[in-house]
Amino acid sequence: MNYPIYGACQCGQVSYELLNKPKRVFACHCTECQKLATGPYSVTAVVNTSDIVFKGEMREWSRVADSGNSNNAKFCGGCGNRIYHYNPDDMSLIKLKLKPVNLEDDKVFAPTEHVWTDKKLSWCELP
């Protein structure tokens, strides 16, 4: 795959340029990700902040995760698409949880693992 690759929210107000391959891609089955995805799981790619460039204005929302960490989310104020998550209490990691939104090449976000599978919906089959 050739980098950079480009993605955007549903309305196109927020876009991003991914400069390098994600460090990790997983499907999360926790109940919060089920709500986020309005489906059985949410796909998340973890990338270094230095490997991504955003354009456009985003709004922010936060909650406390089951771990006790702060989980902040950036999203498009126009269409509401979630763009990424981050933990402001642990900036030493400097990683973003990028939501795969309207990518030119979707293969970069194929999950290699499933997490929180004890919360998966009964009808969801794991590979």
Whole-model pTM?
A: 0.80
Domain 5-119 has CATH 2.170.150.70: yes
Q: Which of 125, 34, 121, 115 is nearest to 67 (CA)?
A: 115
Domain boundaries, the chain: 5-119
Instruction: Using the CB atoms, write b or e for 92-104: b if 16+ within 10 Å.
Output: eeebbbbbbbebe
Q: Which pLDDT value is given to residue 88?
A: 81
d(CA 44, CA 22): 10
Over residues 20-42, the pLDDT tens digits come to 988 888 999 988 888 888 889 98
Q: Is 122 left (phi over 0), alpha (psi -120 to 50) or beta?
A: alpha
